[in-house]
Structure 1
Amino acid sequence: MGFLIRLLVNALALYLVTRVYTGVTFAPGAGAGSVLLAALVLGVVNALIRPVLLLLSLPVNVLTLGLFTLVVNGVVLWLVAGVTALDVASFGASIIGALVLALISWILDLILGASGLDGGRD
């Protein structure tokens, strides 16, 4: 049940990013299935590819005091846009979109955590 809730929260966050920031959109005609698929791909890329990217960029990340993580998050969003119906205007838009996505996901986590719908996480 927790996985399904996380998937729906990520899909909602991704959808809200496309509504708040014009640099990240869904392809015309993309429906709820496309949003759910993009959220699923985002979860898989975050779980499998993002840690490798963070490890490979560790020296640069240390030199920039962690700010390079924003670039890694932008690369992750860029990768997701490459294989789903998600469209990103440019790499800079990808970085800003990843920042907006993180902010919206954080707010949704606060709301769901306060209402007890966070999938049993502590």
Structure 2
Amino acid sequence: MKFWMRIIVNAVLFMALAGFLKADFYVASPWIAILASLILAVLNALVKPFLVLLSLPITVVTLGLFSIVINGFMLQMTSALVGNDFHFSSFGIALLVAILMSICNTIISSYIGRNRHD
């Protein structure tokens, strides 16, 4: 999936999940969702590789499940950088959103990848 397509997909997922989790996850507008998606992409490119490397032992011990915690932490960092227009009520909600986004991105990526080859 191309970079801008992934940004748009993540922004749409942010808006959908914010609508689904109204009391726990807030996104002020679609523009804030796009901004948060861009910031998340930059953090994933610059910060996440170091976090993955530092947490490699615990990730191996948990059979990869600790990567969900890293994704939740990346969402919390995004929330801190965007401000009050994009926030989670708790770290647990950030983990839930990370899990749901991972599942949705996997489904969307496999669907788009399959259609591209037909």
Gaps of 5+ in 2: none
Flag the structure with more relative contact order, 1 or 2, with Cα contacts below 8 A and sequence separation at least 6: 1
Match for residue 37 of structure 2 among 36, 39, 44: 39
Q: Does 1:87 align with 2:87?
A: yes
State the number of aligned residues. Answer: 113
Q: Does 1:102 align with 2:102?
A: yes
Shift of 1:44: 0.8
- Cα deviations across residues 85-115 of structure 1 (Å, max 9, x unaligned)? 3110111111111101111222222333344
Check 1:105–1:21 CA distance in 2 against 1; reply closer, same or farther (3 A cut).
farther
TM-score (norm 1): 0.81
Identity %, equivalent residues:
33
Check 1:21–1:115 CA distance in 2 against 1; reply closer, same or farther (3 A cut).
farther
RMSD across aligned C-alpha pairs, in angstroms? 1.8
Q: Structure 1 runs of 4+ off > 3 angstroms?
A: none
SS in 1 for 2:26: strand
SS in 2 for 1:66: coil
Q: Is the contact made by 1:13 and 1:108 (CA closer than 8 Å) also made in structure 2?
A: no
Q: Does 1:14 align with 2:14?
A: yes
**Partner residue of 2:25?**
24
Structure 2 distance, partners of 1:105, 1:52, is 22
TM-score (norm 2): 0.84
Structure 2 distance, partners of 1:24, 1:107, is 22
Q: After the TM superposition, which residues 61-72 of structure 1 pair with which residues of structure 2 at under 5 Å, given as runs?
A: 61-72=59-70
More helix by proportion, 1 or 2?
Answer: 2
Check 1:115–1:21 CA distance in 2 against 1; reply closer, same or farther (3 A cut).
farther
Shift of 1:19: 2.2
